[in-house]
């Protein structure tokens, strides 16, 4: 379902201009009987570099050319043009649409064939990311949004599309973090919080919320349902950059928890072009840690054996440039590998149902016991 867009007029007109330029280039080539093409920056590890000065991932200059008359590229070329037209329609109507909605808006069988424009939404989503980088714009500027996934509660007031929301009074459910968190949609009001505690899953978030940890420790509490979506990462970035709030992460002790922290801190390889507006180089990893099994006196019941995929992933993460030169992180990853098992934050419940909120996190915060 489409809804009224919140992108500013200037941004909308600029984005329309970029789509218009792409269309003009394609049409001009076709009318001149040349092979129409679109150049798309490559979203690959080989075209991604880590800037030590800026402490974030950056996309390189390599591109992939998609030609209409290249049988290997023709399908993606036509999909790119089709979805660009769909985004143009949204901008002109001043409405937004979900990624799922855009997939269906563009889905049809090509006349005279049995060929569908897209096999599934995953194919459509990948082309939309290509359009973002090809136009040097953002998904939000194309008036597209993803499914909401993420929650916030704490000592802050936000204005969401004109509605004032006090995150101190959100009950057990919390404030659902929207997919589009740009300043034109979300503004910050009164904030007394001193930091943001970001936890990996909603189950852990619910324990902190029920125990009113955010009230006792004067903070904002967020969760991203695992790998945080772009809306959550964008909101965390803005809380850090605009309000100066430290971002502290409580994640599982496994390669996937380490990777989530990596994405929050440096950005992701697939979306390196967005690092400047989402990566938080000063984010800190509070835990849980490999040493916590003995340090917290946990039982063997909480151990989850590392499989071959876990081990391989851990070694890959250890080689990331932003971890490779940090001895504390090398020590942490090697300790987990030596243990031969991983642990979830929920394992701390075996100590006491509120151990994580009343003992573990308060003690780590007081000691400033975190990894950077």
Model pLDDT for residues 43-52, shown as the tens digit of each residue: 877 878 887 8
pLDDT band at 274 (very low <50, low <70, confident <90, very high): confident
CATH architecture of 3-35+70-145: Orthogonal Bundle (1.10)
Report the chain's mean pLDDT, rounded to a whole number. 91
The stretch 202-223 carries a mean pLDDT of 96
Report the C-alpha gap between 209 and 152 in whole angstroms: 9
pLDDT of residue 8: 61
Instruction: Using only the alpha carbons of the chain, give its radius of gyration.
Output: 23
pLDDT of 1 above 80: no
Helix 327-339 with 308-318: angle, nearest 10 deg: 170
CA-wise closest residue to 57 among 251, 237, 272, 225: 272
The fraction of the chain above a pLDDT of 90, given in percent, is 72
| Residue 83 confidence (pLDDT) | 96
267 Cβ neighbours under 8 A, 6+ residues apart: 56, 57, 274, 275, 278, 279
Question: For residue 151, which of 201, 211, 192, 213 has the smallest C-alpha distance?
Answer: 201
The residue among 221, 218, 155, 217 whose CA lies nearest residue 188 is 155
pLDDT band of residue 288 (cuts 50, 70, 90) is very high
Residue 2 has pLDDT above 70, yes or no: no
Catalytic positions, written as ranges: 104
Q: Domain locations in the chain?
A: 3-35+70-145, 151-367
Secondary structure, 3-state, 140-200: HHHCEECCCCCEEEECEEEEECCEEEECCCCCCCCEECCCCCCCCCEEEEEECCCCEEEEC
**Whether 148 contacts 186, CB under 8 Å:** no
Q: Hey, CA dihedral for 181, 204, 295, 252, is it positive or negative? A: negative
CATH class of the structural domain 151-367:
alpha beta
Cβ distance 225 to 202 under 8 Å? yes
Q: Which residues contact 270 (CB under 8 A, 6 or more apart)?
A: 43, 129
* pTM of the entire predicted model: 0.85
Spatial distance between the Cα atoms of 277 and 238, rounded to a whole number of angstroms:
8
Instruction: Please choose, from the candidates 181, 176, 157, 156, the residue with its C-alpha nearest in 3D space to the C-alpha of residue 234.
Output: 181
């Amino acid at each position: 379902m489409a809804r009224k867009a919140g992108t500013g007029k200037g941004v909308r007109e600029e984005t329309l201009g970029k789509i218009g330029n792409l269309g003009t280039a394609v049409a001009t080539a076709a009318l001149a009987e040349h092979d129409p093409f679109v150049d798309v920056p490559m979203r690959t590890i080989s075209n991604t570099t880590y800037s030590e000065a800026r402490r974030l991932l950056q996309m390189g200059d390599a591109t992939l050319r998609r030609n209409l008359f290249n049988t290997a590229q023709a399908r993606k070329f036509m999909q790119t043009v089709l979805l660009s037209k769909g985004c143009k329609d949204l901008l002109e109507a001043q409405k937004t649409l979900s990624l799922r909605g855009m997939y269906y808006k563009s889905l049809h069988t090509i006349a005279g064939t049995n060929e569908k424009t897209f096999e599934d939404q995953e194919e459509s989503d990948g082309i939309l990311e290509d359009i973002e980088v090809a136009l040097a714009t953002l998904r939000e500027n194309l008036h597209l949004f993803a499914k909401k996934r993420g929650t916030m509660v704490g000592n802050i007031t936000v204005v969401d599309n004109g509605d004032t929301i006090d995150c101190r009074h959100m009950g057990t459910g919390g404030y659902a973090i929207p997919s589009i968190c740009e300043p034109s949609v979300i503004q910050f009001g009164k904030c007394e919080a001193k930091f943001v505690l970001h936890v990996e899953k909603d189950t852990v978030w619910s324990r902190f919320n029920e125990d009113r940890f955010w009230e006792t420790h004067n903070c904002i509490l967020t969760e991203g349902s695992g790998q945080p979506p772009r809306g959550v990462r964008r909101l965390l970035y803005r809380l850090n950059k605009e309000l100066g709030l430290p971002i502290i992460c409580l994640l599982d002790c496994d390669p996937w928890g380490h990777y989530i922290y990596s994405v929050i801190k440096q950005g992701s390889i697939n979306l390196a072009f967005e690092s400047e507006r989402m990566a938080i180089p000063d984010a800190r990893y509070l835990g849980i840690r490999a040493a916590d099994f003995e340090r917290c006196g946990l039982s063997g019941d909480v151990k989850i054996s590392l499989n071959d995929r876990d081990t391989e992933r851990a070694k890959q993460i250890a080689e990331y440039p932003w971890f490779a030169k940090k001895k504390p992180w090398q020590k942490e990853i090697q300790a987990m590998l030596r243990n031969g098992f991983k642990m979830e934050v929920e394992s701390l419940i075996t100590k006491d149902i509120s151990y994580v909120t009343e003992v573990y996190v308060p003690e780590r915060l007081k000691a400033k016991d975190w990894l950077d």
